[in-house]
Chain A
Amino acid sequence: KNQVEQSPQSLIILEGKNCTLQCNYTVSPFSNLRWYKQDTGRGPVSLTIMTFSENTKSNGRYTATLDADTKQSSLHITASQLSDSASYICVVTNNNAGNMLTFGGGTRLMVKP
Chain B
Amino acid sequence: GAGVSQSPSNKVTEKGKDVELRCDPISGHTALYWYRQSLGQGLEFLIYFQGNSAPDKSGLPSDRFSAERTGGSVSTLTIQRTQQEDSAVYLCASSKGLAGGLNNEQFFGPGTRLTVL
**A→B interface (CB under 8 Å):** 31-32, 34, 41-46, 49, 51, 89, 93-94, 98-101, 103-106, 108
Q: Are A89 and B101 in contact (CB under 8 A)?
A: no
User: Which residues of A are found within 8 Å of B18, using beta-carbon distances?
Assistant: none
**Given A32-B100, A98-B56: A105 in contact with B41 (beta carbons within 8 A):** yes
B42 proximal to A (CB < 8 A) = yes
Residue tally, chain B, CB below 8 Å to A: 25
- Cβ 8 A contact of A93, one of B43, B58, B101, B108: B101
A34 to B104 CA separation, bound complex (whole angstroms): 12
Given contacts A45-B108, A46-B105, contact A101 B100 (CB under 8 A): yes
Chain B residues contacting A51 (CB-CB under 8 Å) are 102
Give the interface SS of chain B, mostly helix, strand, loop or mixed: loop
B72 within 8 A of A: no
Residues of B within 8 A of A101 (CB): 45, 99-100, 106
A89 touches B4 (CB 8 A): no
Name A49's contact: one of B41, B102, B109 (CB within 8 Å). Answer: B102
Q: Does B51 contact A (CB under 8 A)?
A: no
Distance between A36 CB and nearest chain B CB, rounded to angstroms:
8
Query: Chain A at the B interface: mostly helix, strand, loop or mixed?
Result: strand
Q: Does B65 contact A (CB under 8 A)?
A: no
> In angstroms, how far is the closest chain A Cβ from the Cβ of B67?
14
**B58 / chain A contacts, CB cutoff of 8 Å:** 98-99
Residues of A within 8 A of B108 (CB): 42-45
B42 adjacent to A31 (CB under 8 Å): no
Task: Indicate whether B28 reaches chain A with its CB closer than 8 angstroms.
Answer: no
Knowing A98-B56, A99-B45, A101-B100, the reply to whether A49 touches B93 (Cβ < 8 A) is no
B42–A89 CB distance below 8 A: yes
Given contacts A31-B101, A49-B102, contact A99 B56 (CB under 8 A): yes
- Smallest beta-carbon distance A45→chain B, Å: 7
